[in-house]
Amino acid sequence: MTWQYTPFLTLTLIGAVLVGVAALYVVRQQRAYEPVAGGYTAVVLAAAICWVLLGYALQMGSVELQQKLFWYELSFAGFMPIPVLLFFFTLRYTGRNEWLRWWNAGLLSLIPLVMIGLMFTNENHWLILKHSEIIDNGVFVALRPEFGEAMIAYVAVSILLAGISFALLSWRAYTTAGIYRRQAVLLVAGTVAPVVTAGIYFSGWNPLPGLEVMTLSLAVTACTFCWAVARHGLFTLIPIASQAAVEQMDDAVVVIDIRGLVVNVNEQAEPFLTVDHDEAIGGSVGEVLRPFAVPPAPRSGDPESDREVVTNPESGRSYQRTGTPLTDGDGVVMGQLVVLQDITDRVRRERRLRQQNEQLEEFASVVSHDLRNPLNVISARSQLARETGDPEHFDALDRAADRMDRLIDDLLQLARQGQTVNETEQVSLQEVAEDAWSLVNAPEAELRIESDMYVEADRDRLQQAFENLFRNAIDHGSSDVSLLVEPLEYDADRGVLPRSTDASADEEDESDRTRAGFAVEDDGPGIPAEEREHVFDYGHTTEEDGTGFGLAIVKEIVEAHGWEIRAVDGQLASTHDEDEYGGARFEITGVTTAQGLAIGETDVGFEFE
């Protein structure tokens, strides 16, 4: 076997080595960080080009025709997949995977296989090579093949695929900026190189007959592709984000690229994902993150972080969501670093402070207004009493003093009852209601307790709520008012139901229903619909000597337990004329959930020394 040397042989071998090293570097990068889309396709492409260059170097170094044809056929097998691999990489890189279906990907992959098969059976049909000869171009002995019809058709298909790749990569370069634009420009250059040299080779403008300039240009293609992926790829985002935040923070961290794709998440971010951790990488941020965790897209030219307090609707916990733009050395936005910090405790403290301030303002307003009225009465009546000595004035003084005493008591209750419910226990609703009724001075009134239930509550606070509800019914009704205390049940189809009126309760499985709370109802004049939203307001009263704090205190106690209260139309009244109402009914719901965290969430009230 005879060999020859030419400088082009050295150049070709150097190109093969560079391409091989570049491919290995990309493999290392792919394993070290999150894989780049199309990264492994670029590796396979570079490996095929390395194969072609090594085969061409051996073909160039041989002298005899049979030797050259042998090495030519081997390099031919590596060359055939290159246009298809280039096209596959372009689709992956530009995010157009949807263009590939199993059938068209299969057909494209079949092209190089058919061409390789035709090459190794060429002597039977001459569709690949019609004729081959050796020529001396003055520098080395070269092979000059004459291509057949199949090879010409393959070249046409290859130019078509390269043209599509060129157009997609050019558009990518046009629509991006910074590091992504430079990456796309390199890929465009790598795509154009073999197309231009192919035109030179087949047009007869080849500067050295027999020199396969197109094959040599593939080294440029492979190196630019590997360099673009490894140096200017998406790897640049991950080390920055990992070193700056992901590995160092206890908070949830998500890294998003400029296309809105998730490129990295830490373990703390898993509760905010809609998919598994491994599936989140490469997914759209709008699909991977729960809606409340999705930040607005970063704005070009705006380096400021976007901060917003968001709430998880499932758990009720609050988070500080911070979206920080990630920029390259040119200040071009490459992506975004999203941090979710649990600030639930802080939000609760702030809410408590606001409630305390609001309550203090209400308290100050009442002290300055409602207490001034009886003081004015006392001042005026005492002056008249001194002047006239009429006993009527002393009675008015007593009434004013009594009203001041009631106001002070109610105001102190209002301030203290809103404090955090710290001690809770399972208490009997019937026992607490009966104890509260024993403290109400209403000998002619009647209380009926439909049935008993146990609730998790602060017994003293709950008893105070009952006392205020009972007194409210007596103050606004007649002396012989009738009251009812009954548990409430919750049905998925019918909502909150009074237990006493549930005719089908015996027919249903008790396990399918849950206690929702309880109600207090009277047969008095009731509450007009337009007044029901205001009866719990501070100072709201329809009585001349009322303080307007009784129901406000009830609401504070209820909400301190994490429950809810509402006023509705009752049904105890014996008559229902057109302008009358069916008694007042107060429903307290959410009792079965008023445990643990819910008890502490409405931590309101201010303290007195």
- 79-104 pLDDT, tens digit per residue, is 999 999 999 988 888 878 788 888 88
Give the integer Cα–Cα distance in Å for 514 and 447: 25
Q: Which pLDDT does position 594 carry in this prediction?
A: 35
Average pLDDT taken over every residue of the chain: 78
Whether the CB-CB separation of 338 and 325 falls below 8 Å is answered with no
Residues facing 322 on adjacent strands = 307, 339
- Of 168-182, 185-199, 484-498, 561-575, the range with the lowest mean pLDDT is 484-498
What is the rounded CA–CA span in Å between residue 272 and residue 294? 10
Looking at per-residue pLDDT, the higher value among 397 and 491 belongs to 397
Q: Are 569 and 431 in contact (CB under 8 A)?
A: no
Question: Half-sphere exposure of residue 155, counting CA atoms within 13 Å on the CB side?
Answer: 17
Rg of the chain over Cα atoms, rounded to whole angstroms, equals 43
pLDDT tens readout for residues 375-392: 767 777 777 777 777 777
Q: Which of 49, 117, 36, 127 is nearest to 83 (CA)?
A: 49
| Mean pLDDT calculated for residue range 162-176 | 88
Q: Which is more confident, 365 or 494?
A: 365
**How far is residue 29's CA from residue 32's CA, in Å, rounded to a whole number?**
5
Is the pLDDT score of 246 beyond 70? no
Which of 502, 485, 489 minimizes the C-alpha distance to 448? 485
Q: What is the pLDDT of residue 241?
A: 47
Predicted pLDDT of residue 512: 39
129 within 8 A of 51, measured Cβ to Cβ: no
Please report which residue ranges of 81-130 form alpha helices under DSSP H. Answer: 82-93, 102-120, 122-125
CA dihedral 599, 603, 605, 606 (to 10 degrees): 130
Percent of the chain residues topping a pLDDT of 70: 76
Average pLDDT over residues 179-207: 83
Over residues 576-595, mean pLDDT: 65
| Residue 110 pLDDT exceeds 90 | yes
**Which has the minimum average pLDDT: 45-54, 329-338, 346-355, 442-451?**
329-338
Structure tokens at 556: 């504070």
The CATH T-level fold of domain 7-232 is Rhopdopsin 7-helix transmembrane proteins (1.20.1070)
Mean of the pLDDT values across residues 512-532? 76
Question: How far is the CA of 76 from the CAs of 38, 59, 210, in angstroms?
Answer: 24, 11, 16
φ, ψ of residue 438 to 5 degrees: the values are -65, -20
Please state the rounded mean pLDDT for residues 124-140. 91
Q: What is the CATH T-level fold of the domain 420-601, as seen in this structure?
A: Heat Shock Protein 90 (3.30.565)
For residue 132, the SS3 value is strand
208 close to 137: Cβ distance less than 8 angstroms: yes
Q: Is the pLDDT of residue 422 over 60?
A: yes
Q: What is the pLDDT of residues 199-244, one digit of tens each?
A: 888 777 888 888 888 888 888 888 887 777 765 444 444 444 454 5
Residue 492 has pLDDT above 50, yes or no: no
Neighbouring C-beta atoms of residue 289, cutoff 10 Å: 25
Residue range 498-512: average pLDDT?
42
Report the share of the chain in percent with pLDDT over 90.
19
Task: Write out the two tokens for 130.
Answer: 């019609």
Give Cα 211 to chain centroid, integer Å. 58
The pTM of the whole model exceeds 0.75: no
The predicted structure's pLDDT at residue 476 = 78
| 602 pLDDT above the threshold of 60 | no
Distances from the Cα of 402 to the Cα of 52, 366, 378, 547, angstroms: 106, 17, 11, 11
pLDDT of the residue at 547? 58
Helix, strand, coil percentages (3-state) for the chain, rounded to 5, are 55, 15, 30
Q: Copy the structure tokens of residue 176.
A: 């991006």
Model confidence band, residue 605 (pLDDT cutoffs 50, 70, 90): very low
User: Torsions phi, psi of 248, nearest 5?
Assistant: -105, -15
pLDDT given for residue 77 in this prediction? 92
In whole angstroms, what is the distance from residue 31 CA to residue 204 CA?
Answer: 45
Q: Which helix (DSSP H) or strand (DSSP E) does residue 283 occupy? A: none
| Sheet with 262-265, side-by-side order of all strands | 262-265, 252-257, 333-342, 318-327, 306-311
Return the SS3 of 574. Answer: coil
Listed by start position, the domains of the chain span: 7-232, 236-342, 420-601
pLDDT for 95 equals 77
Q: How long is the chain?
A: 609
The 10s digit of each residue's pLDDT in 552-573 is 888 888 888 888 888 888 776 5
Between 47 and 417, whose confidence is greater?
A: 47
Query: What confidence tier does 544 reach under pLDDT thresholds 50, 70, 90?
Result: low
Strand partners, 30: none
More confident residue, 110 or 570: 110
Q: Is the pLDDT of residue 128 over 90?
A: yes
pLDDT of residue 606: 29
- Residue 204 to residue 82: CA distance in whole angstroms: 23
What would the CATH number be for the domain defined by 236-342? 3.30.450.20
At 481, phi and psi to the nearest 5?
-65, 150
Q: What is the DSSP letter of 62?
A: B
Cα→Cα distances 481→72, 543, 583, Å: 110, 17, 10
Q: Do domains 7-232 and 420-601 have the same CATH topology?
A: no
- Specify the DSSP class assigned to residue 34: S
Q: What is the mean pLDDT of residues 436-465?
A: 85
Q: Which of 603, 382, 205, 284 is nearest to 273 (CA)?
A: 284
